[in-house]
Each structure stands twice: as C-alpha cells, then as structure tokens.
Structure 1
C-alpha cells in the first residue's frame, strides 16, 4: 500500500524537465488562437453541457440555470488559467503528462 501511494504522488524533477526542454524538437505552429481556444474549451466543458442543459432548465432549475452556467464558467476559468501558467513555465509537448 505504501509503494502504491508513493507511485501516485511521484513527480518528475525540474532538472529532468529542463533537459527535455533543451533537447526537444520544435514543432511547426499552425493552429490559430481561436482554434486553440475552441480545443481548450471543448476539453474543459465537454459535450454533456449541450445535451443536458435544456432538460435541466425545463425540469429542474428553470431560469436559475444561467447562474449555474456563470458559476461553472468561473471555475473552468481557474482551471484554464492554471494550465496556461504551467504551459508557460514548461513549454513542452505533452500537456498534463508533463506537469505531473
């Protein structure tokens, strides 16, 4: 059990990441800002919001569903800002795999 816990919280040292940054092959940047925004929002929000929001508004919440959209949008903004900070700090391909 102790070994499993150590593996769950294991992190890469920053020295290893620095070596990966120095030896990384540079990719051609072809995506625009709007395309990256759409991919990021799609990854954070998901598809369920478009399927279930009408049912939730009509059956359960009514007009207060707008408040819940605003609240979850603010929470998603915190998540997106933390990923943008990590991406600026460690400019490597790999996203979440690189940060953990």
Structure 2
C-alpha cells in the first residue's frame, strides 16, 4: 500500500471515492479534510459547468478544427451546435 491511495470510480451513475492510507503516517482527520476539500472543489466545478457550456474539438467530429480555431470561433460567434468543413467547391 502507498502512503495515500485514492481511487475514484463511477458506480451506478454516482462518483465513489475510496481513500486508503497508512494510519501510522496519516491521521484520520487529515484524510477527512482532504476528502472534504475534494467534495468542495467538485461542487464548484459542477456549478461552473452548469453555468457555462464548455465545448471541445471532439464535439465537432465532422469538422477539422484545432483547439485554437475553436476558441477563435467561440470568441467571435459565441456558442453553436454544428460545424462543417466547406466542400472543395465552396472553399474555392
């Protein structure tokens, strides 16, 4: 066993985190504080994700986008749902 081992997994659509630690090295209160901090940070992340939709290049499989190009498009046009590459005829 490591000094501290944290395993996170999704079980029945819920996040489960298992904390294993050496009791000769760490106090239970310290591990509980770390677990509480993790929960607080996950809540902040979930709140931010609900407020703002985050898009990634992989959300647009029909287009050949780079991360930089996607950021420029989002800055210019806000959010959108579909992005297609131009056909050779249209891009001429």
TM range (shorter): 0.3 to 0.5
TM-score by length of 2: 0.37
**Larger relative contact order (Cα-Cα within 8 Å, sequence gap ≥ 6):** 1
Query: Which has a greater percent of helix?
Result: 1
Q: Name which one, 1 or 2, has greater alpha-carbon Rg.
A: 2
Query: Which has a greater percent of strand?
Result: 2
